[in-house]
Amino acid sequence: MKILLLGYGKMGKTIEKIALERGHSIVGKIDLQNRSEMDNLGKEDVDVAIEFSSPESAYSNITYCLKKGWPIVCGTTGWLEHRAEIEQLCADQQGSFFYASNYSIGVNLFFRLNRHLAKLMNGQGYQASMTEIHHIHKLDAPSGTAITLAEGVAAENSAVQGWKLAPEDEGGFITIKAEREGEVPGTHIIRYESDVDTIEISHTAHNRAGFALGAVVSAEWLPGRQGVFGMDDLLKI
């Protein structure tokens, strides 16, 4: 499979390593310095693009790929105010678009656990909060994973209307504390507190390999499909 990498930071390099190990070829490694090189690639030169760039670049990269007819897997967060436009463009172009806030299999199982716990906590009088910890290079806060978790809590727990980024703290919302430390790949902690006890669930990533493998597996799955997809479609959960 011919893969185009959009974004060639630490995640892009990890994706490249795993893709090559799985027998794929890399037809381009695009970042801000050489973005014009995409213009030299035709529709048949790319089987799928994998996008892990920055919030500022993601929207234009996704738009470019859909108009070019390339299936695209995106893991960049912080651009979702444009998601409705991208989904409409994908439909108009009869394209293929795969988005996940987190490509780790473990995190996606954690998403399901989070929703189940939120449902169990309905009406029990606990205050929900969250802490997410990432490396100092991460540009958006809270993380896309944290937002997905918060939306899952709000969907299942009638006491939670949405989320607020700390230090904002308002009743009816889950407060997210975003911390940036060293080279931490990603830690997410969901906490329910009452006067008598605290219940916590957490997920801690040990490295980027799990995220990168999930992105490559998604890229293997996407070509030949039409529409907008996510990890629930890939994992059938």
Report CA-CA distances (Å) from 99 to 160, 170, 210. Answer: 25, 30, 16
Query: 144 among the known binding-site residues?
Result: yes
**How far, in Å, CA of 160 to CA of 172, rounded?**
5
Query: 76 among the known binding-site residues?
Result: yes
134 has catalytic annotation: yes
Helix (H, G, I), strand (E, B) or coil at 119: helix
Query: 171 among the known binding-site residues?
Result: no
82-90 own/partner pairs: CB under 8 Å, 24+ apart: 85/59, 86/59, 86/62, 87/228, 89/63, 90/66, 90/227, 90/228
Query: 131 among the known binding-site residues?
Result: no
Helix (H, G, I), strand (E, B) or coil at 19: helix
Which of 24, 68, 134, 188 is flagged as catalytic? 134
Query: 103 among the known binding-site residues?
Result: yes
Query: 192 among the known binding-site residues?
Result: no
**How far, in Å, CA of 204 to CA of 221, rounded?**
26
Which of 2, 43, 137, 138 is flagged as catalytic? 138
Query: 101 among the known binding-site residues?
Result: yes
Angle at 152 between CA 147 and CA 155, to 5 degrees: 125
Query: 145 among the known binding-site residues?
Result: yes
Question: Which residue has tokens 């899952």?
Answer: 152
Query: 108 among the known binding-site residues?
Result: no
Q: Terminus-to-terminus CA distance in the chain, angstroms?
A: 26
**How far, in Å, CA of 37 to CA of 17, rounded?**
21
Query: 102 among the known binding-site residues?
Result: yes
Query: 82 among the known binding-site residues?
Result: no
206 has catalytic annotation: no
Binding-site residues for NAD(+) sit at 75-77, 100-103
Binding-site residues for (S)-2,3,4,5-tetrahydrodipicolinate sit at 135, 144-145
Binding-site residues sit at 35, 75-77, 100-103, 135, 144-145
Residues marked as catalytic: 134, 138
Binding-site residues for NADP(+) sit at 35
